[in-house]
Amino acid sequence: MKSALILRGIALTAALLGLSACATAETFEWGTYDAALYAYSKHPEQLPQFEKSLQAAIASGRNKGRVAPGLQAELGYCYLGEGKKVEAIAQFKAEMTSFPESSALMNRIIAQIQG
Amino acid sequence: MTFRTLLAAAAAAGCMALGACATAPTPFDYSAFKAEAPHSIVVVPALNNTANVTAPDWFLSTISQPFANRGYYVFPANMVRGLLNDNGLADAGLVHKTDARRLQPLFGCDTVLFIQINKWDAKYVLISTTTEVEFSYELRSCKTNATLWKNTQSLQYTPQGANSGNPIAALIADAIIAAIEKGHPNYMPLARQANLAAAATPGLGLPVGPYAAATH
C-alpha cells in the first residue's frame, strides 16, 4: 500500500517532468524564470528571489550564448524599481544588444531615466 | 521495472500526450502572417473570463517561454505589465479593446498577443479531481491591427489511479491524490502545455521565427 502510493507519486512527478522536458525547447536559457515570476506575481515580497533567478539565468545564458529574450530587461526593470539607475541602464543596454527588436523600448526607458 | 524505466516511460507518455495534440485537422491560413513576417510579440495581460481572480497573474509566467522558443522576441512580461499600468492600461478588459496600433509607440512591437482565459478550474467529483483550462490566442499586427494568427487550446488533467489489485487501497489512494490535486491544482503545467501546443503545433501554431535554433 505504502510502496504503491510512493510509486504513484513518482509516476505523477515523472509525468509532469516528462511534460516539462518536452516543453523546454532549448532555444534559450530560461533558468527558473517562469517559476520565479509565478512566485513573485503571487507574493510581491519575493522580488529578491525573482532577481536572483534572473541573474542566474542571464549568467548561464551568457555562458552558452543564448540569453533568453526579455530577461535582461526584466532584471533592469527590477533594479529601476529599487532606484538602482546605473545597474538598470546597463541591463537595458544589454537587452538591446542581444535583441535589437527591443531597441525602441529600451532607448525610451533609458532616456526617461536619464531625463 | 526499475525507477529509471519508470521515469522514461512516464516521460515518453508525457511527450506522446503532447504529440497527440499535434494532429492538425485543417492547417491555418498563414498568408497574412507571412506577408508581415513579424519578429517581435508583446503579450498583454490575459483577459479573464473565469471566476478565478488570480488566474491572469499566474498565467503570465507561462507565456513568454513557448513563444520565444518558437523564435520570436517576446517582450519582458513583468516589465510590460508594469508599463501598461503606468499608461493607464492596467485593466485587461481595456487593453483587449485597444487597437494594436496604439501599443506600437509604447513598445516598438511588431505584434500584440491577446489571450483570453476561458476556463481555469478544478472540479472535485467523488474521489478524483479534474483540473481544466481553456485559452484562446489572437495575434494582431501593430501596423494594421489585422489578425495574423489565432488558436484555441483546451486541456484537462486528472491524476490516474494505479491498478494495485486492491479496490479499497486504490480507493483510499485515489482520495488522497484527489485531495492533493484539489489543494494544489496543476494549473501551471497545464498552462505551459497549452501555450506550447498553441505556439508550436505544426500547421496550427506560429511559423518558426527568426530566433529559432537551427534544429527546430
Convert the pLDDT of each residue in A38-60 to its tens digit. Answer: 889 888 999 999 999 999 999 99
pLDDT at B67 over 50: yes
Minimum Cα–Cα distance from B40: chain A residue: A101
Confidence of residue B1 (pLDDT cuts 50, 70, 90): very low
**Backbone dihedral angles phi then psi of residue B153, each to the nearest 5 degrees:** -130, 130
Instruction: For residue A18, list chain B residues with Cβ-Cβ distance below 8 A.
Output: 7, 10-15
Minimum Cα–Cα distance from B181: chain A residue: A12
Kindly state the average pLDDT of the residues B153-170.
69
Considering only residues 21 to 60 of chain A, which have any Cβ-Cβ distance to chain B shorter than 8 Å? 21-28, 30, 33-35, 37-38, 40-42, 50
Mutation pick from A29, A30, A33, A37 vs chain B, by most beta carbons of B within 10 Å, is A37
**Backbone dihedral angles phi then psi of residue B148, each to the nearest 5 degrees:** -100, -25
Kindly state the average pLDDT of the residues B83-104.
94
Among the residue ranges A12-16, B89-93, B129-133, B155-159, the one predicted with the least confidence is: A12-16
pLDDT at A31 over 70: yes
What DSSP character marks residue A83? T
Instruction: For residue A21, list chain B residues with Cβ-Cβ distance below 8 A.
Output: 11, 14-15
Kindly report, residue by residue over B94-105, the tens digit of the pLDDT.
999 999 999 999
In this prediction, residue B179 carries a pLDDT of 58
pLDDT at B12 over 50: no
Query: How near does any CA of chain B get to the CA of A70, in Å?
Result: 4
Q: How many Å apart are CA A20 and CA A56, to the nearest integer? A: 20
Instruction: For residue B52, list chain A residues with Cβ-Cβ distance below 8 A.
Output: none
Out of B11, B70, B176, closest to residue A21 by CB: B11
Kindly state the average pLDDT of the residues A90-94.
98
pLDDT at B149 over 70: yes
For A54, residues 6+ apart whose C-beta sits below 8 A from its C-beta are A31, A33, A36, A71, A74, A75, A78
pLDDT at B117 over 50: yes
Kindly state the average pLDDT of the residues B38-58.
91
Nearest to A30 by CA among B198, B192, B128, B161: B192
Nearest to B188 by CA among A37, A47, A54: A37
Instruction: For residue B159, list chain A residues with Cβ-Cβ distance below 8 A.
Output: 12
In this prediction, residue A43 carries a pLDDT of 87
* Cα separations in angstroms, B209 against B146, B150, B173: 19, 16, 46
Instruction: Please answer yes or no on whether A73 and B76 come within 8 Å at the CB atom.
Output: yes
Instruction: Please answer yes or no on whether B159 and A69 come within 8 Å at the CB atom.
Output: no
In this prediction, residue A7 carries a pLDDT of 47
Residue at grid coordinates 530560461:
A30
Kindly state the average pLDDT of the residues B102-117.
97
pLDDT at A20 over 80: no
Furthest-apart CA atoms within chain A: distance in Å: 67
Instruction: For residue A7, list chain B residues with Cβ-Cβ distance below 8 A.
Output: 6, 162
Kindly state the average pLDDT of the residues A111-115.
94
Confidence of residue A27 (pLDDT cuts 50, 70, 90): confident
Out of A4, A28, A76, closest to residue B162 by CB: A4
In this prediction, residue B185 carries a pLDDT of 61
Instruction: For residue B189, list chain A residues with Cβ-Cβ distance below 8 A.
Output: 16, 19-20
Whether chain B has a CB inside 8 Å of the CB on A103: the answer is yes
Out of A21, A27, A38, closest to residue B213 by CB: A27
